Amino acid sequence: MDPGRVAHDKKRPPHVRLMVAGGKPRTLRAALRTPPWRKALRAIHVITSVGLLGADAAALTLAIAGWRGAAPMTIYPAAHLIGSAVILPLASLSLVLGLALGLLTPWGVLRHWWVLGKLVLDTAGTVLAVFVLVPTLDAAAATALAGHAPADAFGLVENSGGATCVLVVITLLSVYKPLGRTPWSRPRPGR
């Protein structure tokens, strides 16, 4: 190994030292910043996000069917199952993976408006899924299993539709990457 490289490498903080003998990453963070790991992390994030969008669309479809009068004893328990067993885990995983991508890749979390927008929308969507969508689906399922129609069937359509729209906006932000860099990412004058 080049002695100049070693001296330069020792000046860096431990979390950004990139090389040891043989050219292997020195820290976990450095290992995760290498292209194969970034691609794998990004692929898993895309898969969970697409799965989340599909699960949300399925819940929306069931909510529309229930609102239009389809068998409530079948529709609402199925929608609740999708919400609790699929939407919540995928929303949480998508949020965690997106945050990891922001922290471990050159895109950063606060460098680009589109990344910051995705983070805010994904966080809000996950919180709303936990505290609004799934409890509402649970109440509708319990009401339907008791032999009654939910009081606000259209409210379920609104909740699921809103969640699906937010996920579509997040997807569009990922594809088009609008608005450029945030003020926090620009170099300061004199540096």
| pLDDT confidence bin for 64, thresholds 50/70/90 | very high
Q: Where are the domains of the chain?
A: 1-32, 35-185
| pLDDT confidence bin for 109, thresholds 50/70/90 | confident
Contacts of 177 (CB under 8 A, 6+ apart): 112, 114
Contacts of 170 (CB under 8 A, 6+ apart): 49, 118, 121, 122, 125
Separation between Cα atoms, residue 63 and residue 157, nearest integer Å: 5
pLDDT score for 187: 59
Task: Return the CATH architecture of domain 35-185.
Answer: Up-down Bundle (1.20)
Q: Which residue has the higher pLDDT, 138 or 184?
A: 138
Least confident of 16-25, 32-41, 103-112: 16-25
Separation between Cα atoms, residue 131 and residue 29, nearest integer Å: 33
Q: How many CA atoms lie within 13 A of 147 on its CB side?
A: 0
pTM above 0.85, yes or no: no
DSSP characters for 120-169? HHHHHHHHHIIIIIHHHHHHHHHHHHTT---TTHHHHHHHHHHHHHHHHH
Identify whether the C-beta of residue 100 lies closer than 8 Å to the C-beta of residue 119.
no
| pLDDT confidence bin for 23, thresholds 50/70/90 | low
pLDDT score for 31: 60
For the stretch 124-177, pLDDT in tens is 999 999 999 999 999 999 999 999 888 888 999 999 999 999 999 999 999 998
pLDDT of 8 > 60? The answer is no
User: What mean pLDDT do residues 60-85 have?
Assistant: 94
